[in-house]
Amino acid sequence: MPAASPNVSSALLSQSARPARFSARFWQLAHPLWLCPFRPMFALAMLSGWGLMAAWGAFLFWGWPLPAVEGGPFVWHAHELLLGFTLAAAAGFALTGVPEFTDTPAFAAAPVRWLAGLWLAGRVAFWCSGWWPVAALAASALAHLAFMALLLALLTPRLWRAPERRHLSFAWTLALMMAATAGFYADALRGEPPMRWLHGLLGALMVLIIVAMSRISMSIVNASIDDSEAARRAVESRQQDPEYEATRETRRYLARPPRRNLAMLAIALFTAAQWWEPGARTSAWLALAAACAVLNLMGDWHVGRPLLRPWPLMLYAAYAFMAAGYALTGVGLLTGLPPNAGLHLLTAGALGLSVFVVMCIAGYTHSGLEKSGRPWVLAGAALVAASAVLRACAYALDATALLMGAAALLWCAAFALMSWRMLPVFWRPRADGQGGCDGVLDAPQEAASAPADSAPASP
């Protein structure tokens, strides 16, 4: 028989490989869900983002029962926000970002599947702790601590071997989160109030936001500056107007270590003081110092009109919520007002908005898709921001249940919107036909493709 032509051979190989690629179940490593570590972890984060908050809103509005856990419903709510929703998002970002920062290969899918399994085991065990307090709490502690230990074991060698170890702060911050998690479960197993450890974990997450944003913002803000310069040159070349020269954006954005380190130190001092003696005046002044340090850090972002573009502005807003949260916390501790308004600006505002925007940036970019030109992202970020404001107002207007319920609804809408737009991206192969976690490739067919939110139905 005559030999098949190369085109025919490649077509036959493609057809023979296609059933195996799409017949895999979602828990099998051959499924596209495991193509890059962020895919399963971000999927868990966005689903829990609206699922857990829906349960909380139902509790606030209609009194629906929540899992009976040590410390009551507020401990359950804080635990699931920090160790459920946020932990999954942080793991997905670290597992995708660290190989990029250290110029090392992407992580294999097998340990990521272990992480997803441990995360799910932690949810089930903690929710069952009302029926089996000791056994279920111990199982939940083991699941969460094993999750963080495995994450550190994957990340630390690469961070340690990187030149100048510039990114080792990721490992130190994760170690602090692991210590706070261990303290939470130690107190819970002894029957003591464990909430102070969750406040400590929140402080570690604020530090992690600053560490991560210093890497992300260098790309996002300077790309916005470059886009503004390109647009200015295009207009200038068309109109030949010398006045356009006065609008030139020449300043580059630099995440300066002194300002970043000062902000992280102030947050760490406040967190330690609040853990040691909650409500003390020392904590109040340290909270105000943390707010000032974050405001000082935000000064690096003032690069002119490029800051007003959607992606830099959304990241900048997360810092604004952080500064406002610590400021309101400090004022509340000094005046005797409930500090919960500031606390919710930190959780729903700084934390929620950071997670939302970073998942959009990393999720699209490392799926080979352009992140710009997606108005739903700005709408979702606005919903998260409005949710944070409503949560803060709930404690000032004496309408806690109503406003908190409305805030929960807005939050759920934001992450349900994200799930609708991004889960199809994670569920299917990359639109550019590439594998792994590569960024957007210069492919002519990508610009001409139909909606970039979803990959084609077949390769």
pLDDT at 140: 97
Judged by average pLDDT, the poorest of 79-83, 109-113, 393-397, 402-406 is 393-397
- Whether pLDDT at 382 is above 70: yes
Round to whole Å and give the CA distance between 62 and 57: 8
Round to whole Å and give the CA distance between 371 and 391: 29
- Whether pLDDT at 22 is above 80: no
Round to whole Å and give the CA distance between 82 and 76: 10
Report the greatest alpha carbon distance in the chain: 90
Round to whole Å and give the CA distance between 431 and 429: 6
Q: What is the pLDDT of residues 333-359, one digit of tens each?
A: 998 877 788 999 999 999 999 999 999
Cα distances (angstroms) measured from residue 319 to each of 169, 263, 297, 366: 19, 11, 9, 24
Round to whole Å and give the CA distance between 421 and 427: 11
Using CB atoms within 10 Å of the CB of residue 126, give its burial: 0 to 12 exposed, 13 to 18 middle, 19+ buried.
buried
The answer to whether the beta carbons of residues 339 and 333 sit under 8 Å apart is yes
pLDDT at 186: 96
Query: What does DSSP assign to residue 66?
Result: -
Q: How many CB atoms lie within 10 A of CB 138?
A: 16
The answer to whether the beta carbons of residues 416 and 447 sit under 8 Å apart is no
Q: How confident is the model at residue 442 (pLDDT cuts 50, 70, 90)?
A: low
Percent of the chain surpassing pLDDT 90: 61
Q: What are phi and psi of 106, to 5 degrees?
A: -65, 155
Q: What is the pLDDT of residues 103-155, one digit of tens each?
A: 999 999 999 999 999 999 999 999 999 889 899 999 999 999 999 999 999 99
Amino acid at the residue 103:
D
- Whether pLDDT at 453 is above 80: no
Length of the chain: 459
Round to whole Å and give the CA distance between 284 and 112: 40
Amino acid at the residue 121:
A
- Phi-psi map region of 48: left, alpha, beta (phi>0 left; psi -120 to 50 alpha): alpha
Q: What is the pLDDT of residues 250-279, one digit of tens each?
A: 467 777 889 999 999 999 999 999 999 888
What would the mean pLDDT of 435-443 be, rounded to a whole number? 73
Round to whole Å and give the CA distance between 387 and 404: 8
Cα distances (angstroms) measured from residue 374 to each of 42, 304, 350, 359, 413: 18, 23, 22, 14, 17
Compute and round to an integer the Cα radius of gyration of the chain. 23
pLDDT at 340: 85
What are the start-end ranges of the H helices in 240-351?
Answer: 257-276, 281-298, 310-335, 340-344
Q: How confident is the model at residue 164 (pLDDT cuts 50, 70, 90)?
A: confident
Round to whole Å and give the CA distance between 274 and 333: 10
pLDDT at 409: 93
The answer to whether the beta carbons of residues 263 and 293 sit under 8 Å apart is yes
Q: How many CB atoms lie within 10 A of CB 90?
A: 25
Q: How confident is the model at residue 309 (pLDDT cuts 50, 70, 90)?
A: very high
Q: What are phi and psi of 254, to 5 degrees?
A: -140, 125
- Whether pLDDT at 315 is above 50: yes
Judged by average pLDDT, the poorest of 61-65, 140-144, 310-314, 324-328 is 61-65
Cα distances (angstroms) measured from residue 12 to each of 5, 6, 21, 65, 376: 11, 10, 14, 56, 40
Q: Which residues make Cβ contacts (< 8 Å) with residue 239, sequence separation at least 6? A: none
More confident: 55 or 440: 55
- Whether pLDDT at 231 is above 80: no
Helix 400-427 to helix 352-365 angle (10° resolution) is: 10
Tokens linked to 347? 């959780």
pLDDT at 450: 38
- Cα–Cα–Cα angle for 311, 317, 320, nearest 5°? 155
Global pTM reads 0.87
What would the mean pLDDT of 81-88 be, rounded to a whole number? 97
pLDDT at 314: 96
Tokens linked to 81? 């926000």
